[in-house]
Amino acid sequence: MIQYVIRRILYAIPVLLVVAFITLWLFDIAAGDPAAIKLGKNPSPEAVAALHEKLGFDDPFLVKYGKFLWSTATLDYGVSFTDDTPVRTIFARGIGPTLSLTIPAFLLGTLVSVVLALLVAFYRGSLLDKTMTVVAIAAISISSLVYILVFQYVLADQWKLFPIWGYDYGFGAITFVALPVLIWILLSIGTDMRYYRTVALEEISRDYVRTARSKGVSERKVLFSHVLRNCLIPIVTRMAIIVPFLITGSFLLEIFFGIPGLGNTLYTAIGNSDLPVIKAFTMLGTVLYVIFDILADVSYAVLDPRVRLQ
């Protein structure tokens, strides 16, 4: 297993090298001259030259690439274009609010989806099952932006059940993240429930379920103790795949509800063409994805003794 993990990490290195190359290349073409962003209109040529010198704008591409790789290795992406705050500080500020929204949303959402999936799998073929399938398809057919706008308008603006905008650190955060969490759950439930239903149905048709039933185990116990335990593998694997999105997945929610998290930071950075921040985001997102991809495979082997990683 350790050998497997090491091999996966080694395989991830060329992936990260290429991603760094693509990131740098794409954003470099797109961005144009940083002086235009930083120095405003009509800067003096000396100021432009000084800034280019400082940021290494005129360096050959390979030098920039080397510096960028070094930044990723040391997790130090320099300072933001807009206000010279170190990118590291910006991330440290944003991570708390983001996770206070995404972790409860993710855990609650998964819980609700799994329970609903087991329920409809239990009553498979019934009216409930068919209705839920249609409801799930309808739910994933609504644009996420429409969800956010409608819920914000109706529940927060009209009915005043939740605050419309803002954030409070500490326990006060609960009132502000409650509505975004609710929207997240509604957004994810359609896809997740359908996925877990398929997983549960696959397990239900297996021999051990028939054995358990034939020896007189109650249907409820078959479902929640035998089937659920065997469903854990796909559930945990799927959860591991979703985890990296806890950083960027709340992007729209944060913008609309004024939560000062990483998504909001990224939105501001995009608006200001703040390249150091955008590039750092892309690389860190990739690193997280790669790490959790490996973890998902490892969790496979840990949860299922039959799986041998090679």
Partner 1 sequence: MTTLSTMDAFEAQDLTVARTPTQEAWRRFKKDKLGLVFLVVIAIYFFVALWAGTFGWGGSYEVAGQTRPAYEASMGQLGIQLDGKPFPESQVPPNLAGGANTMLGTDALGRSVFYRGLQSTKVAFIVGTFGALLSVVIGMTLGLLAGFLGGWVDRVVVFVYSTLASIPYLLLMLAIAFVVKKGDFANWYDDLKIGEFDVSDFISLGLLNLVVVIGLTSWVTLCRLVRAEVFKVRELDYVNAARSLGFGTGRILFRHVLPNVFHLVIINFSLTFVIAIKSEVILTFLGVGVDKEPSWGQTIAGAKNELMTGIWWPLATAGTLLFGLTLAVNYVGDALRDALDPKLKT
Virtual CA dihedral for 150, 103, 203, 237, nearest 10 degrees? 120
Residue 177: Cβ within 10 Å count: 26
Cα of 202 vs its chain's centroid, Å: 27
Q: Quick one: which of 9, 26, 47, 161 contacts partner 1 (CB under 8 A)?
A: 26
Restricted to residues 146-205, the positions that interact with partner 1 (CB under 8 A) are: 146, 149-150, 152-153, 157
Q: Quick one: which of 6, 9, 13, 30 contacts partner 1 (CB under 8 A)?
A: 30
CB 120 within 8 A of CB 132: yes
Instruction: Please give the structure tokens belonging to residue 33.
Output: 């001259």
Using the contact rule CB under 8 A, the part of the chain among 20-28, 72-80, 169-177, 296-304 near partner 1 is: 20-28
Is 77 an interacting residue with respect to partner 1 (CB under 8 A)?
A: no
CB 98 within 8 A of CB 250: yes
CB 254 within 8 A of CB 177: no
**Per-residue binder mask for partner 1 (CB under 8 A), 108-147, x = binder:** -----------------------------xx-xxxxxxx-
Using the contact rule CB under 8 A, the part of the chain among 17-25, 70-78, 174-182, 216-224 near partner 1 is: 17-25
Total binding residues toward partner 1, as defined by CB under 8 A? 40
Amino acid at 187: L
Q: Give the shortest CB-272-to-partner 1 separation in angstroms.
A: 12
Restricted to residues 220-279, the positions that interact with partner 1 (CB under 8 A) are: 244, 248, 251-252, 256, 270, 278
Indicate the DSSP class of residue 172. Answer: G
Q: Give the shortest CB-75-to-partner 1 separation in angstroms.
A: 17
Q: Give the shortest CB-20-to-partner 1 separation in angstroms.
A: 10
Terminal Cα-to-Cα distance of the chain (whole angstroms): 7
Instruction: Please give the structure tokens belonging to residue 134.
Output: 């249609």
Angle at 267 between CA 263 and CA 273, to 5 degrees: 135
In this structure, the chain runs to a length of 310
Binding residues (CB under 8 A) for partner 1: these are 14-15, 18-19, 22-23, 26-27, 29-32, 137-138, 140-146, 149-150, 152-153, 157, 244, 248, 251-252, 256, 270, 278, 281-282, 285-286, 289-290, 293
